[in-house]
C-alpha cells in the first residue's frame, strides 16, 4: 500500500464520520455557500498576475513537518500582496496538518480564488468545500476511477465550483481527461518514490488540450524555472513547500515573485 492508498483509506473513514456529525443541510446554511465563486481560471491566466497558486501547507508525508508555526492570516495575505494569482490551502489534518478552518480563515481575509487541496472521493466533500469558502477543488486522477472523477467534477460545476485535476503521468492523463474539468495540473512529484522531476511537466504539457488551463505543480524552487515552464506552455504554477519552509513564508514568496518579474519578459514593461 503506497501513501496515496493509505490516505484514501483514511479519508473514507473520515468522510463517513463527518457525514454523521455535520449533515449536508447544515453545510448548505454556511454564509459562504451562496457566495459567488472567484474564477481560478481567470485569475491564473490574467497577464497582469504571476500565475502562481501559493500554497499554505504545514507538513507532508514526504517531508514531515515543514512549518508548524506559520499563521494562515498573515501568510495568505502576504502571498497575495507579493503577487500570487490564487491560494491553495491544505485541509487534510491527518497527513498534512491542515483543517477546514485554515481555508475559512484565508477566505475571510482574501478576495481571490482559493483551491481546497484535499483528497476528494465523495460529493459530501464538495458541498463542504463550498461551505468553507473554496472556489476550486482538486481531483486526483491516481485516486479516482475516470467515471467517478467525471461525476465528481460535474457535481462541483453544479455548485459553481471550478475543478483542477491532478495527474502524474501520461496514463492518468489519457484515461481521466473529460469536459467537466477547468484546469489540469501536472504533479512533478512521484507518488511512489516522492522523487521530483520537472521532466514530468515538460513531457505532458503538449498532451494537455489547450482548452484547459495548464498548471505545473511541485518541485519549483527557482524563478527561472517558472520562466522556462511558461515558455513550455504552462499557464500557472502551484508552489507551497518552497515558501513554507521559510520562517517567513510571505517574505520568501515576495522575494521569489519579484525575481520572477525581473526574469520574465511578460513583466518587462512593469519593471522598466
Selected catalytic residue, list 166, 201, 216, 264: 166
Is position 117 annotated as part of the catalytic site? Answer: yes
71 is catalytic: no
Is residue 36 in a domain? yes
Asked if residue 174 belongs to a domain, the reply is: yes
Is 162 considered catalytic here? no
Asked if residue 176 is part of any domain, the answer here is yes
pLDDT at 186: 98
Q: 212 Cβ partners below 8 Å, 6+ apart? A: 181, 182, 183, 184
pLDDT in tens, 95-128: 999 999 999 999 999 999 999 999 999 999 999 9
171 as an active site residue: the answer is no
- 12 is annotated as an active-site residue: no
Assigned domain for 268 exists: no
Question: Is 218 designated active site?
Answer: yes
- The one catalytic residue among 11, 41, 57, 130: 57
92: domain range? 3-263
User: Which among 218, 230, 241, 264 is annotated as catalytic?
Assistant: 218
pLDDT given at position 193: 75
100 part of the active site:
no
**pLDDT at residue 268 above 60?**
no
87 within a domain of the structure (yes/no) = yes
77 vs 62 pLDDT, higher one: 77
Catalytic residue among 100, 131, 187, 188: 187
In a domain, 271, yes or no: no
Q: Spot the catalytic one: 117, 130, 214, 230.
A: 117
Q: Residue 217 — very low, low, confident or very high, per pLDDT cuts 50/70/90? A: very high
Whether the pLDDT of residue 162 is over 70: the answer is yes
Mean pLDDT in residue range 136-159: 98
Residues 125-132: what's their mean pLDDT? 98
Q: Is it the case that residue 269 has pLDDT exceeding 90?
A: no
Task: Determine, yes or no, domain membership for 270.
Answer: no
CATH of the domain at 199: 3.20.20.70
- Total number of domains in the chain: 1
Residue of 14, 55, 128, 150 with catalytic role = 55
pLDDT greater than 90 at residue 184: yes
**How confident is the model over 229-252, as pLDDT tens digits?**
999 999 999 999 999 999 999 999
Q: What pLDDT is stored for residue 1 in this prediction?
A: 66
The catalytic position among 128, 162, 217, 241 is: 217
* Whether residue 272 has pLDDT greater than 80: no
Residue 222 covered by a domain = yes
Would you list the DSSP string of the chain?
Answer: --HHHHHHHHHHHHHHHHHHHS-HHHHTTSTTTTSPPPPHHHHHT-TTS--EEEEE-SEETTTEES-SS--HHHHHHHHHHHT-SEEEEE--STTT---HHHHHHHHHH--S-EEEES---SHHHHHHHHHTT-SEEEEEGGGS-HHHHHHHHHHHHHTT-EEEEEESSHHHHHHH--TT-SEEEEE-B-TTT--B-THHHHHHGGGS-TTSEEEEES----HHHHHHHHHHT--EEEE-HHHHTSSSHHHHHHHHHHHHHHH-GGGHHHH-
Q: What is the pTM of this model?
A: 0.96
**What pLDDT score does 194 carry?**
78
Amino acid at each position: 500500500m503506497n501513501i496515496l492508498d493509505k490516505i484514501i483509506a483514511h479519508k473514507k473513514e473520515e468522510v463517513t464520520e463527518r457525514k454523521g456529525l455535520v449533515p449536508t443541510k447544515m453545510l448548505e446554511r454556511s454564509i459562504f455557500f451562496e457566495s459567488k465563486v472567484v474564477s481560478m481560471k481567470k485569475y491564473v491566466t490574467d497577464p497582469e498576475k504571476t500565475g502562481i497558486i501559493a500554497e499554505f501547507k504545514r507538513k507532508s508525508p514526504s517531508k514531515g513537518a515543514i512549518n508548524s508555526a506559520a499563521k494562515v492570516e498573515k501568510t495568505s495575505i502576504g502571498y497575495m500582496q507579493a503577487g500570487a494569482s490564487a491560494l491553495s490551502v491544505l485541509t487534510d489534518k491527518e497527513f498534512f496538518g491542515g483543517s477546514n478552518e485554515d481555508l475559512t480563515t484565508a477566505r475571510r481575509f482574501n478576495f481571490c480564488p482559493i483551491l481546497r487541496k484535499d483528497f476528494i472521493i465523495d460529493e459530501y466533500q464538495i458541498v463542504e468545500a463550498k461551505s468553507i469558502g473554496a472556489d476550486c477543488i482538486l481531483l486526483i486522477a491516481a485516486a479516482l476511477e475516470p467515471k467517478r472523477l467525471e461525476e465528481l467534477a460535474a457535481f462541483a460545476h453544479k455548485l459553481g465550483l471550478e475543478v483542477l485535476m491532478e495527474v502524474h503521468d501520461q496514463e492518468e492523463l489519457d484515461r481521466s481527461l473529460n469536459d467537466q474539468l477547468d484546469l489540469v495540473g501536472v504533479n512533478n512529484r512521484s507518488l511512489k518514490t516522492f522523487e521530483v522531476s520537472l521532466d514530468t511537466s515538460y513531457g505532458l504539457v503538449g498532451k494537455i488540450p489547450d482548452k484547459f488551463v495548464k498548471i505545473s505543480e511541485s518541485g519549483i524552487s527557482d524563478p527561472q524555472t517558472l520562466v522556462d515552464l511558461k515558455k513550455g506552455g504552462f499557464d500557472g504554477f502551484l508552489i507551497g513547500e518552497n515558501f513554507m519552509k521559510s520562517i517567513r513564508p510571505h517574505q520568501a514568496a515576495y522575494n521569489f515573485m519579484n525575481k520572477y518579474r525581473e526574469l520574465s519578459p511578460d513583466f518587462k514593461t512593469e519593471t522598466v
